[in-house]
Every structure is written in C-alpha cells, then in structure tokens.
Amino acid sequence: MTAIRKRTVIFAALFALGFMTQVSAATAQMTKVKVGRTVGGSGFHIPSYVALDKGFFKGEGLDAEFIATTAGVLVRAAIAREIEFVPIPGGGSEAMLKGAPLVFVVGESSISQWTLTTTPDIKRVEDLKGKTIGLERPGQAAYTEIVVVLGKFFSMQPGRDYKVIAFTAETDRVAALINRSIQGASLSFPHAARAEKEGMKVLLRTGDYIPRLGGTFLTHKDFIKEKRDVVKRFVRAMVKAEDYVKANKKGTIEVIQKYFDINDPKVSESIYNQVYDKYSPEMTPEMIRDLFESRTTPELGWPQGKPLPDLEQFVDRSLLNEVFKEMGRKPAK
C-alpha cells in the first residue's frame, strides 16, 4: 500500500471515529423521559403524539418514550415516579385531593371530548333505560363523565336505570357497540367518528353539559425540584406541538391516522376538523376549579357540602409562564 493510500485510509478511519463520537455525545446529551398515554389512542392526547412523531420532544433534547396503559395505572406510576409525565387530569385530581404529591404543568384539550355513542335505534337518552352501556372502570374519565351527566341531567343511575360493562380500551367498546353486545358506549371524538362510519350515532357530548380540561399533563412535585429544566423543556415541546396541530392539517392528519389506525381519509379529516382548535397549554384557575368540582360530587363519593381546598397548590404555572415569555407571548392566566 502506498504512503498516500495509507494516509487516506487513516484519515477516513479517524473521520469515522470522530463522527461516531459526536453522535454518541449527542445521544448521551438527550434526556430520557417516559410519557404516559392511554391504550388505543385518545383525542385528548393528539398534541403529545405530534410532539413525539414530529420531533418536538427531540428538538428539546428529550428522548421520549410512550408508555401505554390504563389511566389508573398511569396515575399510580406517576406517584411512584416510574413515569415522568402523565396526561390524566381526572384520576390525577382525585389522587391530589387524597394527598398525592402531583402537580399539573401543561394543558392539552380545553374541552371534554367524550361522547355517549349508541346504536341507531336509541333516539333519546331515556331509551337507554334497561339497556347496557360500555364504560371504562369506575374512577376513570370515560366512566365518570358519562355517569355524572346521566345522573345530574337525566336522573339516571348505573345499576338502577342502566347496566354497565367495563372495557379498558375504546376500540373494544366500538367493537361491542357494532356487534350490538351493548347499546351505548363512552367514546372520545376519534373513536366516535369511526363508530358513526359503521352506522352508530352520537347521542350526546359531555362537553355540552360539563366543563373539562382533557389530557392535562401532571408530574411528581419532586421531579420539578430535581429536574426543573427537563420539565420546562417538556412544556415547551407541548406548546410547539399544539401550535403545530392548529397550523398543519396534513401533518396532524398523518399522526391521527397512525395512532388511531385509520385508513379512510374522510374519517381522519373529520376528526381533525372537530379537534384541531380545541387544544391549549393554559390551565386557567376557572378551568382547574371546574375540573376538581367535576370530581367532587356525591356520585363519586365526595361528601355533600365538603369544601374544596386551595386548588392552586395542585398547579405549577411558572414553567408555562417562562416558556411563553421566551416565545414572546403573554403569560398564562
């Protein structure tokens, strides 16, 4: 081998080694975080899907990994610090009221996206008397919001006026509804759209009856103390993802099709049109109060007349305020 050839080989080897070192260093600088999501996809969580798939987490130096399981498991994992970020405001707020060291840091959906979707023969809510409704487990949002609306506005109680079957995943509720194993089901907008395509009908939307923060992310208080910059980067990624959802229809539809396993472009576009402008990182005091009040009702075992504690202890807006200021926006309310 000639001297020139040897020098060329050595230079190439050194260049490759240097490149690999740079890649390794960049990878090492990425902070690994676990992000919760529910099984089967949820319309409440679309901005977090966008944040992962469109690179917003990565752009903030976060090596994010989704952990998909039930809402209750996600909340318990947040308390145990096994998952850093969990988007379960209903179960999270109940845990906070019981003393769990959790705090909300950034919002997602600003309305309730749950529907009571039924077989086409059900014309009005009262037609569900004596029928079977597919819900999630007691304590989860897909159970609570339907039970509260039916009880508060239609004087219908589970067990007395209608039967309940618990399903963990929305996809299972859709299948049972189409097969007529049940006559009604709690479904978020994306899954309700799929059911409608199969001839089912949306009987009511819980957002028309009760206010709701949906998919609001919480984390452990100690994690903020120890890794405040990481939490702030997560918040910034979510703000950017929610901006993306509003501005980029095509890219968001791609994400919807992936996470809800939808091939029909009309269905995915219909879902986008229902939710694209329904996301906000803000968690106003009014919305926080509405959230906690929806969880402290006699139907859920909260003592009649028992007052709520100071709710600001359950929210950390300082991170969002800092992100807004750096982005040239007005501080969160």
Phi, psi dihedral angles at 56 (to 5 degrees): -75, -35
The residue among 102, 21, 32, 24 whose CA lies nearest residue 60 is 32
The pLDDT value recorded for residue 18 is 54
Check whether residue 311 and residue 219 sit in a common domain: yes
In-domain check, residue 200: yes
- Looking at 152, 174, 208, the residue that finishes a domain is 208
Average pLDDT across each block of 10 residues of the chain; the chain has 333 residues. List them in order: 50 50 52 94 92 98 96 95 95 92 95 90 96 89 88 94 93 95 93 90 88 89 98 98 97 94 87 89 91 76 84 96 93 64
Q: Is residue 97 part of a domain?
A: yes
Residues 85 and 216 in one domain: yes
Are 172 and 318 members of one domain?
A: no
Q: Are residues 106 and 149 in the same domain?
A: no
Domain end among 179, 208, 237: 208
> Residues 235-292: pLDDT tens digits?
999 999 999 999 999 999 999 999 988 888 888 898 898 889 989 999 999 989 988 8
Domain span at residue 247?
30-111+212-326
Taking the mean position of all CA atoms in its chain, how far away is CA 247? Answer: 20
pLDDT score for 142: 84
Same domain, yes or no: 46 and 74: yes
Residue 6: per-residue pLDDT: 52
- Who contacts 328 (Cβ-Cβ below 8 Å, separation ≥6)? none
pTM of the model: 0.75
What pLDDT does residue 300 have? 66
Assign residue 96 the CATH number of its domain: 3.40.190.10
My answer on whether 162 and 247 are in the same domain is no
How many CA within 13 A on the CB side of residue 236? 20
Q: In this structure, are 190 and 308 located in the same domain?
A: no
Is residue 205 helix, strand or coil?
A: strand
Q: Could you tell me if residue 21 is inside a domain?
A: no
How many domains does the structure of the chain reveal? 2
For residues 139 and 184, what is the distance between their CA atoms, to the nearest angstrom?
Answer: 19
Q: Are residues 233 and 309 in the same domain?
A: yes
